[in-house]
A and B are shown apart, each in its own frame.
Chain A
Amino acid sequence: MQKTITYSDAINDALHTSMKIDKKVICMGLGINDPKNIFGTTKNLLKKFGSNRVFDMPTSENAMTGIGIGMSLDKFKVVITHQRLDFILLAMDQIINGAAKWHYMFGGKDNVSITIRLIVGRGWGQGPTHSQSLQSLFAHIPGLKVVMPSSAYDAKGLLISSIFDKNPVIFIEHRWLHSLEGKVPSKKYLIPIGKPKKILNGSHITIVSMSYMTIEAINAAKFLKKYNIHCEIIDLRTVSPIDYNIIFNSIKKTKKLLVLDTSNKSYSISSEIVAKCCENVFKHLLSPPKIIGLPNIPIPTSFGMTKDLYPESKDIINEILNIMNIKQTIPYEKNLSHKHDIPHKKFKGPF
């Protein structure tokens, strides 16, 4: 059976499914049992599974990560949720010196099975410390897997895979994806970590994308199709590790590459992908690979300063025309019924 549900409901479904099939799955996080249930993603978990398995926590991100590690050494599978990615910066010791190294530094004698859910904020003035998209920070660390699904379907399958993975997984959601709907099977299913998915077939250019930027990519591709430009979109789903075969094969076909990033471009996943493609399939590229992402600045708060800051479909379209050396301008106006700093009309923050 299949139903159409939102991305946040798909996350919720994955948590329910995992907790139901394995009593060792534990959920903790600041506010997971509050009336808002982390944008609905943790609703009814407490009611279903009880306070031993679903609990709120002190604002102690570092210790709670270590506690998750300790529990997993006794075979629990721990899911820790943070309302914003920015908050996990207090737990870097436990993540980088602890979770990521444990299996390695003890010669494989033990392993750490924890999933850390992080939510990237955007808009409504989230500002410098509530909207960082720091996937490359984690992806840089050997021993961590970093997952960034863009659809409800992938969110469910990848979250279940993450929870049952024997390793620490950083599971990054984007606040603007939570309200998007998709078709999701009711049963349990797994999506392998590390496998990108081709979500659109095309012959003119390869777009590699992640998380929310995939939504913008789809919009851009739909528009360009009307002008007979056919984009191939590869949604990364996981940003570390990445199985590059599908990307390389696509480049061999299209000979052009555009990478989209939810973060600032410097030292990013997108620059890593461009580097890997240049190292491996350079001779197939007919034009320099390009990146669209944020400029290398902190995210400002003001409604005034965020205007035109985040790249969107229009920027993707223009860049593709550029890459394809098409001089003609195509009149694209995104049909926005709402302001630039919210994902849809009803969104009123506050976070």
Chain B
Amino acid sequence: MKNIQKNLLEKIKLIRMVEEEISNKYFENKMRCPTHLSIGQEAISAGVCLAINNNDYVVSTHRSHGHYLAKGGNIKKMIAEIYGKETGCSNGYGGSMHLIDKNVNFMGSTAIVGNSIPVGVGLGVAAKLKKNKKISTIFFGEAATEQGVFYESLNFAALKNLPILFICENNLYSVYSSLNERQPKKRSLKNISSSMGVESIKVDEINVHEIYKITKKYAAKVRRTNKPVLIEFMTYRYREHCGPNNDDNLRYRKRSEINKWRNKDPIKVFEKFLLKNKIVTKEEILNIEKKIYSNVKSAFKYAEKSMFPSPRNAFKNIFAD
């Protein structure tokens, strides 16, 4: 148990520190692609990805750094990809919104809202046909549940009893547009989902260990029953929708709402919990931070040192042969 908690702490800290370093260095104008940070939402990435197996499939969205890192994706290759370097995980073709690491079955993140949902369902079909006991985990934001393809995918997953974990991260906003503008008040994803035959729960919890335990339980159920489950996690992003800055000055989010979420910051909450229960010491936390810091630094160094792909490469990889 202690080990798991430490791993979870390491993962959420890793994600936070990588994202903050991206944010700090973004103004250098070397990361020249749209970049969506996961700061504030780390607990879901870490809790979910540690609760599934290394060879389970994951697909994700435009906001995928957290999922990629939590699943065990190579950090150097991710940073190099954001720098547009040929050593990047997608060789510079994709950027921040198109990450892949097949070594850990992180099968790809895509930049069109809702786009990767059916792809994840297809991986679920494959797992079922191969009877290999893998499950497919699909990350998406709540705005994707406004897309038709989400319902089509849910319908098929229920129809065919597919081993799929749908993970909705509800951070209340689609860019600047609040939920009130987009969804009827009484709409409940949990009810929609269960009425379509996909068992579903809504989770307000922000303690990463609780998120882990809930996911673990449902992942086991998906694997055992070959039936899909949808979990909606409530969460909050701290920075602007896309880019390195804080944009609270734009006032599309109420101060009181921001404070409410900031006060229960997933990292602070978890550290406090671990210290109080004497699961880790302050010193251990410092050591974890030091280790991550050096990994993050060397990832950025690797990215900076790597070469840009040649302009000729733009003409390659159009077709596989």
Contact = CB atoms under 8 A, between A and B. Distances in A.
A70 B319 contact: no
Interface residues of B, number: 46
A4 B152 CA distance: 41
Given A93-B149, A107-B90, A71 B122 contact: yes
Contact of A167 (B89, B116, B152, B319): B319
Contacts of A106: 89-90, 93-94, 98, 100, 108
A57 B153 CA distance: 12
Contact of A74 (B92, B112, B130, B321): B130
Contact of A52 (B59, B121, B129, B316): B129
Interface string B177-196: 00000000000000000000
Contact of B156 (A64, A109, A110): A64
B22 interface: no
B118 A74 contact: no
A89 interface: no
Contacts of B320: 103, 108, 111, 166-167
- Residue among A62, A63, A65, A142 facing the most chain B CB atoms (10 A cut-off): A63
A190 interface: no
A66 B319 contact: no
Given A62-B149, A66-B117, A107 B122 contact: no
Interface in B34-58: none
Contact of B317 (A72, A103, A145): A103
B198 interface: no
A73 B88 contact: no
A304 interface: no
A71 B156 CA distance: 14
A58 B129 CA distance: 19
Interface in B14-43: none
Contacts of A74: 122-123, 126-127, 130
Contacts of B319: 103, 143, 145, 166-167
Contacts of A72: 122
Contact of A64 (B98, B115, B118, B124): B118
A67 B138 CA distance: 13
A302 interface: no
B93 A66 contact: no
A108 B136 CA distance: 22
Given A58-B155, A105-B93, A66 B115 contact: yes
A45 to B, nearest CB: 16
Interface stretch (A94-102, A218-226, A284-292): A94-102
Given A102-B108, A105-B98, A107-B94, A70 B156 contact: no
Interface string B120-148: 11111111011000001000000000001
A73 B90 contact: no
Using C-beta atoms within 8 Å of the partner chain, give the interface range for chain A. Answer: 35 or more
Interface in B81-113: 88-94, 98, 100, 102, 107-108, 110-112
16 contacts: A63-B149, A63-B155, A64-B156, A70-B123, A70-B125, A73-B123, A103-B318, A105-B93, A105-B94, A105-B98, A106-B98, A107-B90, A108-B91, A109-B89, A110-B108, A143-B319
Contacts of B114: 93
A63 B114 CA distance: 10
A303 interface: no
A296 B120 CA distance: 40
B159 interface: yes
B119 interface: yes
Contacts of B91: 107-109
Given A93-B149, A107-B91, A108-B320, A76 B159 contact: no
Contacts of B317: 103-104, 107-108
A58 B119 contact: no
A106 B101 CA distance: 10
Interface of A: 26, 52, 57-58, 60, 62-76, 93-94, 97-98, 102-111, 142-143, 145, 166-167
Nearest to B132: A74
Contacts of A64: 118, 152, 156
Contact of B88 (A67, A107, A110, A111): A107
A66 B149 contact: yes
B152 to A, nearest CB: 3
A201 to B, nearest CB: 32
Contact of A63 (B88, B90, B107, B118): B118
Contact of A110 (B100, B111, B122, B316): B100
Given A58-B159, A109-B102, A166-B321, A65 B118 contact: yes
Interface in B242-270: none
B110 A98 contact: yes
A205 B290 CA distance: 76
A257 to B, nearest CB: 28
A167 B118 CA distance: 18
Given A74-B126, A74-B127, A98-B110, 10 more contacts: A62-B149, A63-B117, A63-B152, A63-B156, A73-B108, A98-B119, A103-B319, A106-B89, A107-B90, A108-B316
A58 B153 CA distance: 10
Contact of A109 (B100, B118, B121): B100
A63 to B, nearest CB: 3
A70 B121 contact: yes
Contacts of A105: 90, 93-94, 98, 110
